[in-house]
């Protein structure tokens, strides 16, 4: 196998959360590798910016303005692709509240986006891949929070733990059809989600860089490369796995 194993020329890839952060970086990199990228997000401006980045670099992008918690919207968008080789279910939200202050509506909102939104994307992609006998790759976005827990992370971590379970379970169910399912569990990555602005941001980034043996914080492109690896034939014997690009950080709590 050569580096051409990373070539996605002619392969349609669907990316949720493509309007910003890790999803945008992944969509751009998949397009650079030759994929036709279907960018989905609830943020129309972010979607437009991502598609423009891809097209300006000579790639092919389509946009789908949708909410991943709406199963029908996801169904219509994925069905319009006709064929899919890659699904990267990246859309997610952050929520922080101590266990004793967590309300039902917090839990429902976070589980809806971070777990059900990923589940719907996986289901739609797997059905289409099975229908067309595509030996595709499905990638979910978990989090280092699954390993560490952490103050305030009950809702977020519970949803991400469910994503890990979904990933491993689906991998066992569709593997015999040649479909691979893997998760990426990033550490702290500099994106709009983690932006605390100003001094608070500088303090957080300095702390995260000190905690990493590599001495720096993660960038969206670091995660996009993990997504590209899992999307491509370079990972053809990898399924049901959790890839942890986290700079070697072990959280201190």
Q: Residue count at the site for ligand NAD (CB under 6 A)?
A: 28
Query: Quick check: 212 binds ligand NAD (CB under 6 A)?
Result: no
Helix axes 21-32, 44-56, angle to 10 degrees: 30
152 interacts with ligand NAD by CB under 6 A = no
Give the separation between CA 123 and CA 126, rounded to whole angstroms. 5
Answer yes or no whether residue 19 interacts with ligand NAD by CB under 6 A: yes
Contact between residue 11 and residue 85 where contact means Cβ atoms under 8 Å apart: yes
Q: How far is the CB of 165 from ligand NAD (least distance, A)?
A: 16
CB of 24 to ligand NAD, least distance (A): 7
User: If binding is defined by CB under 6 A, does position 92 make contact with ligand NAD?
Assistant: yes
Q: Does 23 bind ligand NAD (CB under 6 A)?
A: yes
Q: Does 249 bind ligand NAD (CB under 6 A)?
A: no
Tally DSSP H helices, then E strands, for the chain.
9, 7
Other beta carbons within 10 Å of 132: 12
**Beta-carbon-side half-sphere exposure of residue 164 (alpha carbons within 13 Å):** 18
Asked if 157 is part of the footprint of ligand NAD (rule: CB under 6 A), the reply reads no
Round to whole Å and give the CA distance between 211 and 188.
11
Q: C-beta of 35: minimal distance to ligand NAD in Å? A: 19
Q: Give the integer Cα–Cα distance in Å for 151 and 53.
A: 37
- Active-site residue, 156 included: yes
Q: Which is nearer to ligand NAD, 141 or 174 (CB)?
A: 141
Measured CA distances, 166 to 48, 152, 229, 242 (Å): 30, 23, 20, 12
From 49, 67, 106, 233, residue interacting with ligand NAD (rule: CB under 6 A): 67
- Give the whole-angstrom CA distance, residue 84 versus residue 11: 7
Interface residue with ligand NAD among 30, 35, 88, 141 (CB under 6 A) is 141
Compare residues 17 and 136 and give the one whose CB is closer to ligand NAD: 17
Q: What is the C-alpha radius of gyration for the chain, rounded to an integer number of angstroms? A: 17
- Residue from 97, 102, 165, 194 touching ligand NAD (CB under 6 A): that is 194
Nearest-angstrom CA–CA distance, 121 and 66 = 12
**Site for ligand NAD, rule CB under 6 A:** 17, 19-23, 41-43, 46, 67-69, 90-93, 113, 117, 141, 143, 186, 188-189, 191-194
Catalytic residues: 156
């Amino acid at each position: 196998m050569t580096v051409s194993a990373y070539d996605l020329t002619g392969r349609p890839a669907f990316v949720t959360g493509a309007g910003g952060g890790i999803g945008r970086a992944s969509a751009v990199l998949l397009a650079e590798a030759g994929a036709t990228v279907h960018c989905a997000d609830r943020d129309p401006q972010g979607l437009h910016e991502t598609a423009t980045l891809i097209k300006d670099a000579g790639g092919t992008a389509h946009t789908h303005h949708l909410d991943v918690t709406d199963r029908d919207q996801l169904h219509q968008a994925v069905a319009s692709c006709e064929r899919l080789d890659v699904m990267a279910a990246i859309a997610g939200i952050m929520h922080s509240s101590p266990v004793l202050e967590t309300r039902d509506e917090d839990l429902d909102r976070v589980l809806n986006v971070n777990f059900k939104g990923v589940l719907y994307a996986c289901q739609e992609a797997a059905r289409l891949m099975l229908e067309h006998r595509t030996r595709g790759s499905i990638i979910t976005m978990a989090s280092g929070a699954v390993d560490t827990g952490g103050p305030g992370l009950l809702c977020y971590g519970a949803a991400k733990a469910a994503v890990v379970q979904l990933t491993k379970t689906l991998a066992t169910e569709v593997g015999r059809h040649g479909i691979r399912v893997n998760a990426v569990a990033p550490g702290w990555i500099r994106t709009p989600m983690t932006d605390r602005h100003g001094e608070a941001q500088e303090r957080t980034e300095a702390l995260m860089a000190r905690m990493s043996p590599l001495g720096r914080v993660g960038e969206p492109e670091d995660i996009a490369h993990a997504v590209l690896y899992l999307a491509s034939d370079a990972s053809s014997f990898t399924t049901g796995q959790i890839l942890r690009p986290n700079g070697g950080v072990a959280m201190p709590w």
